Amino acid sequence: MDDAPPGTELLVDTGPPTDRDTEFTRFMTEASPALARTAWLLCGDVHQADELVQQALVRTYLAWSQARQGDPLAYARRTLANLRIDTWRRRRREVLSDPTTLPDHGDDRDAARSHDRDQLTRALALLSARQRRVVVLRHFVGLSEREVADDLGISVGTVKSTASRALGQLRAVLEPSDTTTERSR
């Protein structure tokens, strides 16, 4: 140890990865794409979504012994949603880029998809935090009402009523204006 550079004596060789590490690595590899999609739908920003997924995976790893006893993906999703709530509480306001200020790339299909994605992100941003979480978990992740209720710690009835109100708001924002005028005729 006398030949080692100063400060390296604090480094500890932990040896080969444990079964816990291997198990979590497998989980992380399988769950990351679904968590990334959910995170993006919750926040509408790729960089924030990546950060949320990383934080959720770190917290899931730290509580792996508890998370693996049930459904680890549900645990990670709930952690992700809670982290997003914390972000909302800190920021209170989301900043979305005006699509006209973004550089023009790709063909018309990419532009249409990007426009649709932007409209969806803006519409989701109009919902309350609870409404957005319920809509994302129920309709984009594809969880059942019971699973959403368990993930968010609310009743199934609250999931149903919240989803109904949120979808009504989304329809009002996303439907073309001539469709609404034709209905009134």
Q: Give the pLDDT of residue 156.
A: 94
Q: Give the pLDDT of residue 105.
A: 55
- Nearest Cα residue to 137 out of 150, 118, 125, 121: 150
Q: Give the pLDDT of residue 89.
A: 57
Determine the length of the chain.
185
Name the one residue in this structure whose structure tokens are 């790339």: 105
Segments making up each domain of the chain, as ranges: 20-91, 108-185
CB neighbour class for 49 (10 Å; exposed up to 12, middle 13-18, buried from 19):
buried
The two structure tokens encoding residue 182: 């034709």
Regions of the chain where pLDDT drops below 50:
1, 4-5, 7-13, 179-182, 184-185
Class of domain 108-185: mainly alpha
Q: Give the pLDDT of residue 96.
A: 57
What is the CA angle 19-52-32, rounded to 5?
A: 45
Dist. CA 60–CA 170, nearest whole Å: 32
Name the one residue in this structure whose structure tokens are 């604090």: 10
Class of domain 20-91: mainly alpha
The two structure tokens encoding residue 66: 């508890």
pLDDT (tens digit per residue) in 91-124: 555 555 665 665 555 555 666 677 777 788 888 8
Q: Give the pLDDT of residue 7.
A: 46
User: Three-state SS across 39-85?
Assistant: HHHHHCCHHHHHHHHHHHHHHHHHCHHHHCCCCHHHHHHHHHHHHHH
pTM score? 0.52
